[in-house]
């Protein structure tokens, strides 16, 4: 009897393998910032729901600490973790390191974790930090001679401890090859949305943003905080609060120079320029430029004015001056900035 040949129809059916979920490993440690950790985790959770609804693989979300077990966050909440040793570095797609409001103390005992990060990052597809988690990446040498960001309150600390890191003091998040860093706390949500968009596309990222009631998926180049807020934070005595408010109401004036501002502050130009920089951290000219830029951003996001009109309203000499300023601060042209934020207006109208 001849051997029966099985036809393809009679072969045992093999279950179709769905693409494997990407493993995202969050590194936890005592005094970790809870929102640094949970904000980004929630983005990947929501993205996984959206992907699985389409029959696609999402993300396997894991949280691990050096020894495993309970970890207490800076806010006092305890949560369970796996041990880092349980994860072979080659199995990690995305490695995310949250920050801590007590990073100086964390760094004192961070050598074993830093060594693990150095090894694991080399085999992961990408590595990211949230807020002051950038200090741990820097300690591992992952930010050497790279542009990076962190919480604005920790810029000086970063500069002193890791002078080899090029700090971007404005960005919400920064990508340098396979390494991403983000600004303080909720900027981790923006970072995670950007990672999801890179993996899954704009539609999924915007669906996640809507579910989390994040009305705007901010691009990395957007400033961490307003120029007015920075001036108020630096000028703790509020010496120039009234002047800064006056500037914002008169941005259309072409003559916002040191002489005019000094007269408004009832000071001599030379003394005014010196004291203003001392108190606010910026020269008067730089402060005016930043406030004009922020006003232009707001008008591009939510007004019907064309770019030339916006340049005039905000005190730029012409559209080219506005374009150059946008490129210098945000690495994007005003018209491209407006297109990126079209989604914001659409979401608000829903």
* CATH class in words for 22-211: alpha beta
Residue 279 has what pLDDT?
86
Residue 181 has what pLDDT?
97
Half-sphere exposure of 25 (CA within 13 A, CB side): 27
Q: Where are the domains of the chain?
A: 22-211, 227-348
pLDDT digits (tens, 9 = 90+) for 303-312: 889 999 999 9
End-to-end CA distance of the chain: 72
Q: Which residues of the chain have pLDDT under 50?
A: 1-16, 215-217, 221, 225, 229, 343-350
Burial grade of 63 (CB within 10 A; 0-12, 13-18, 19 or more)? buried
Backbone dihedral angles phi then psi of residue 329, each to the nearest 5 degrees: -90, -40
DSSP 14: P
Residue 17 has what pLDDT?
55
Residue 213 has what pLDDT?
75
Residues 6+ apart with CB under 8 A from 195: 94, 126, 128, 180
Note the residue count of the chain. 350
**Under a CB-based contact definition with an 8 Å cutoff, are residues 153 and 210 in contact?**
no
Residues 6+ apart with CB under 8 A from 300: 307, 310, 334, 337, 338, 341
227-348 CATH: 1.10.10.60
């Amino acid at each position: 009897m001849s051997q029966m040949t099985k036809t393809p129809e009679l072969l045992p059916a093999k279950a179709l393998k769905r693409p494997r979920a990407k493993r995202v490993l969050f590194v936890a440690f005592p005094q970790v910032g809870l929102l640094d950790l949970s904000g980004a985790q929630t983005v990947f959770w929501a993205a996984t729901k959206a992907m699985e609804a389409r029959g696609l693989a999402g993300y396997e979300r894991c949280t691990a600490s050096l020894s495993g077990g309970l970890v207490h966050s800076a806010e006092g909440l305890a949560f369970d973790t796996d041990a880092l040793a349980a994860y072979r570095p080659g199995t990690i797609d995305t490695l995310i390191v949250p920050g801590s409001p007590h990073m100086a103390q964390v760094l004192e005992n961070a050598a074993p974790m830093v060594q693990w990060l150095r090894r694991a990052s080399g085999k992961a597809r990408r590595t990211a930090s949230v807020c002051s988690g950038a200090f741990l990446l820097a300690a591992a040498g992952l930010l050497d001679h790279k542009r990076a960001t962190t919480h604005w309150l920790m810029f000086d600390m970063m500069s002193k401890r890791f002078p080899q890191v090029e700090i971007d003091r404005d960005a919400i998040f920064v990508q340098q090859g396979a390494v991403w860093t983000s600004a303080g706390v909720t900027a981790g949500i923006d970072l995670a949305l950007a990672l999801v968009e890179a993996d899954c596309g704009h539609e999924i990222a915007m669906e996640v943003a809507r579910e989390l009631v994040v009305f705007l998926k901010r691009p990395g180049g957007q400033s961490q905080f307003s120029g007015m807020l920075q001036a108020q934070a630096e000028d703790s005595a509020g010496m120039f609060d009234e002047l800064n408010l006056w500037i914002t109401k008169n941005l259309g004036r072409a003559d916002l120079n040191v002489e005019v501002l000094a007269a408004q502050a009832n000071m001599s130009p030379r003394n005014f320029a010196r004291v203003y920089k001392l108190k606010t951290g910026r020269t008067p000219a730089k402060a005016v430029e930043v406030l004009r830029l922020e006003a232009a951003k707001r008008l591009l996001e939510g007004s019907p004015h064309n770019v030339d009109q916006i340049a005039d309203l905000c005190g730029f000499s012409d559209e080219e001056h506005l374009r150059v300023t946008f490129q210098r601060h945000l690495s994007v042209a005003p018209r491209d900035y407006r297109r990126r934020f079209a989604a914001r207006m659409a979401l608000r109208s829903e």
